Amino acid sequence: MLTKRIIPCLDIKNGRTVKGVNFIDLRDAGDPVELAAAYAEKGADELVFLDISATEEKRKTLAKLVLDVAEQLNIPFTVGGGISSVEDVDILLKNGADKVSINSSAVKNPDLINQLSDKFGSQCVVVAIDAKNIDGKWKVHLVGGKVPTDLDLFEWAKEVELRGAGEILFTSMDHDGTKNGFANEALARLSEELNIPIIASGGAGNIQHFQDTFQKGKADAALAASVFHFKEIEISDLKNQLKTAGIPVRI
């Protein structure tokens, strides 16, 4: 059985790590380079770096900061935010990223998924999907959750897989930053309907939430930010408890 992955997420704004609730009310969480080095040392399986205001501000991801972070890491590193072309990805990979995450640009130009998968391989392409449950239907949102669409989460996820994405990073906007647990029902459906790994994001508040998302949500990986940044959960404690619960993790 494949090991379940624990992935800290660095949400970057103005060169600093930030964290909010339901995508708003951001507060400072520290220097991204220092945090990256600490997570690599503490046993994180991967690291995700999201330049959360790049799309809204219509600019490219901070390539120099990506390079600085990558130099601290010996684990897979995914970078997202403001990516809209093959050239953007080429720069980020040359600066040390192992994978890229695309979100709004994939919805606006679905062929971008095909282009990136063809050029760099599907293992390099993560499609992030931010969705909100509206009247019982999960609707995809863009630009850091600010722009609603009529796209259905599950239909879009299936298209993303067909176009060559290697993984899906699903963030429930309803759960983000609330620390009330992940959207396990939606995650389980995604895992059942798709063949590529699903990364759970949004809602981690305690160790039981991680256990639930692996067991009930059938997630392949769990991503979190504030519980790690503010040392509410130590990765070593989390992994030891998951292992005790019979969940395969890399210790």
Burial of 87 (0-12, 13-18, 19+ CB in 10 A): exposed
Phi, psi torsion values for 197, nearest 5 degrees: -60, 145
User: What is the DSSP annotation of the chain?
Assistant: -PPBEEEEEEEEETTEEEEEETTEEEEEEE-HHHHHHHHHHHT-S-EEEEETTTTTTT----HHHHHHHHTT-SS-EEEESS--SHHHHHHHHHTT-SEEEESHHHHH-THHHHHHHHHH-GGGEEEEEEEEEETTEEEEEETTTTEEEEEEHHHHHHHHHHTT-SEEEEEETTTTTT-S---HHHHHHHHHH-SS-EEEES---SHHHHHHHHHTS--SEEEESHHHHTTSS-HHHHHHHHHHTT--B--
Residue 174 bears catalytic tag: no
Question: What is the pLDDT, as a whole number, of residue 23?
Answer: 46
Question: What is the pLDDT, as a whole number, of residue 57?
Answer: 52
> What are the structural domain ranges in the chain?
5-244
Kindly state which CATH superfamily the domain 5-244 is placed in.
Aldolase class I (3.20.20.70)
Q: Catalytic: which of 45, 130, 212, 220?
A: 130
Residue 11 bears catalytic tag: yes
Distance CA 213, CA 173 (A): 16
Question: What is the pLDDT, as a whole number, of residue 6?
Answer: 98
Distance CA 184, CA 244 (A): 21
Sequence-distant contacts of 150-155: CB under 8 A, at least 24 apart: 151/107, 153/129, 153/186, 153/190, 154/189, 154/190, 154/193
Question: What is the pLDDT, as a whole number, of residue 83?
Answer: 92
pLDDT tens, the chain, 251 aa long: 689 999 999 888 877 777 555 544 556 667 888 989 999 999 999 999 988 665 555 456 678 889 999 999 999 999 998 899 999 999 999 999 999 999 999 999 999 999 999 999 999 999 999 999 999 999 999 987 789 999 999 999 999 999 999 999 999 999 988 899 999 999 999 999 999 999 999 999 999 999 999 999 999 999 998 899 889 999 999 999 999 999 999 99
Q: Catalytic: which of 11, 88, 212, 220?
A: 11
Q: Are 80 and 51 in contact (CB under 8 A)?
A: yes
Question: What is the pLDDT, as a whole number, of residue 11?
Answer: 84
